[in-house]
C-alpha cells in the first residue's frame, strides 16, 4: 500500500499516523533517533501492513499482471494502483471528504515537521503542493505520481507507462483491490504492535 492507505489505516491516532508515515524514510542516522513508543508503534504498523500486503495471494495476482512489463517495480506500481481505488471510492471508507482529509493530514504532518526524518521533510512540501493524496483518485494524479517515480528511479523503470496498464485492466485491478482491502483492514484491526 502507498501513502494514502497507510495514513487511512492509522485511524485517528496522530502518533500512529506519524510513525506509519515516516517508516519508509528511516535511513542511517534516522534509525538511531529516539521516538516515543506511540510513534514506534506506527512504524511497526507500517511494516506489518507491508508484510501482510506483500504476502497476500490477491496482491500477488495484481503484481503478476504488472511484472511482465515492469519487473521488479511491480510491487510499487500495484501499491499506487490500490491507493487509486481507495481514493476513488473514499466515501465508502471515511466520513470526511478526501480533499478535507488530505488537507488535515498535511496540516498534521507540517505541525510535526521537526519529528520527520530528512527524506520525509524533503518530500512533504511537494506532496502537499501537488496534493498527492487527493490526486490518487484521478488518472491524471496517478500519471503524475508514476511519472515522478519514473524520473527518480535509479534504473530504467518505465513506471510512467503504468497508468495505461491500469486503464487497460481497470476492472481486474479493482476487483482484486476489493477482495484484498477488507482483509487488510481486518489485519490492522487486530494489530497490537
Instruction: Write out pLDDT tens, residues 28-77.
Output: 655 557 789 999 999 999 999 999 999 999 999 999 999 999 989 999 99
Residue 21, judged by CB atoms within 10 A of its CB (0-12, 13-18, 19+), counts as buried
- C-alpha torsion sign, points 115, 121, 126, 129: positive
What is the pLDDT at residue 32?
A: 58
Q: Which domain holds residue 120?
A: 3-189
Look at the chain and report how many structural domains it folds into: 1
- Render the burial of 94-119: b for 16+ CB within 10 Å, e for the rest: eeeebeebbbebbeebeebeebbbee
pTM over cut 0.95: no
Q: Are 30 and 41 a contacting pair, CB within 8 Å?
A: no
Give φ, ψ of 2 to 5 degrees: -100, -165
Q: Are 14 and 36 a contacting pair, CB within 8 Å?
A: no
Region 168-188: mean pLDDT is 97
Q: 188 pLDDT exceeds 70?
A: yes
| Nearest 10 degrees: Cα torsion 143, 149, 153, 156 | -10
Distance CA 67, CA 153 (A): 17
Q: What is the pLDDT of residues 109-122, one digit of tens each?
A: 999 999 999 989 99
Place of cell 524514510: 25
Q: Are 132 and 141 a contacting pair, CB within 8 Å?
A: yes
Q: Are 127 and 106 a contacting pair, CB within 8 Å?
A: yes
Helices (H), 27-169: 29-32, 37-54, 57-70, 74-88, 98-111, 118-129, 132-135, 139-152, 162-168
Amino acid at each position: 500500500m502507498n501513502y494514502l492507505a497507510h495514513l487511512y489505516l492509522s485511524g485517528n491516532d496522530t502518533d500512529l499516523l506519524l510513525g506509519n508515515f515516516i517508516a519508509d524514510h528511516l535511513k542511517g542516522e534516522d534509525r538511531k533517533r529516539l521516538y516515543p513508543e506511540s510513534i514506534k508503534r506506527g512504524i511497526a504498523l507500517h511494516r506489518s501492513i507491508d508484510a501482510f500486503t506483500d504476502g497476500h495471494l490477491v496482491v500477488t495476482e495484481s503484481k503478476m499482471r504488472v511484472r511482465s512489463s515492469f519487473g521488479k517495480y511491480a510491487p510499487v506500481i500495484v501499491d499506487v494502483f490500490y491507493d487509486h481505488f481507495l481514493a476513488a471510492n473514499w466515501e465508502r471508507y471515511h466520513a470526511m471528504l478526501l480533499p478535507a482529509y488530505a488537507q488535515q493530514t498535511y496540516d498534521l504532518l507540517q505541525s510535526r515537521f521537526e519529528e520527520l526524518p530528512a527524506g520525509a521533510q524533503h518530500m512533504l512540501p511537494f506532496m502537499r503542493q501537488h496534493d498527492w493524496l487527493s490526486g490518487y483518485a484521478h488518472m491524471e494524479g496517478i500519471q503524475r505520481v508514476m511519472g515522478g517515480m519514473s524520473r527518480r528511479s535509479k534504473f530504467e523503470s518505465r513506471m510512467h507507462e503504468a497508468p495505461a496498464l491500469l486503464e487497460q485492466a481497470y476492472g481486474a485491478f479493482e476487483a482484486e483491490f476489493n477482495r484484498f482491502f477488507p482483509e487488510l483492514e481486518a489485519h490492522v484491526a487486530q494489530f497490537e504492535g
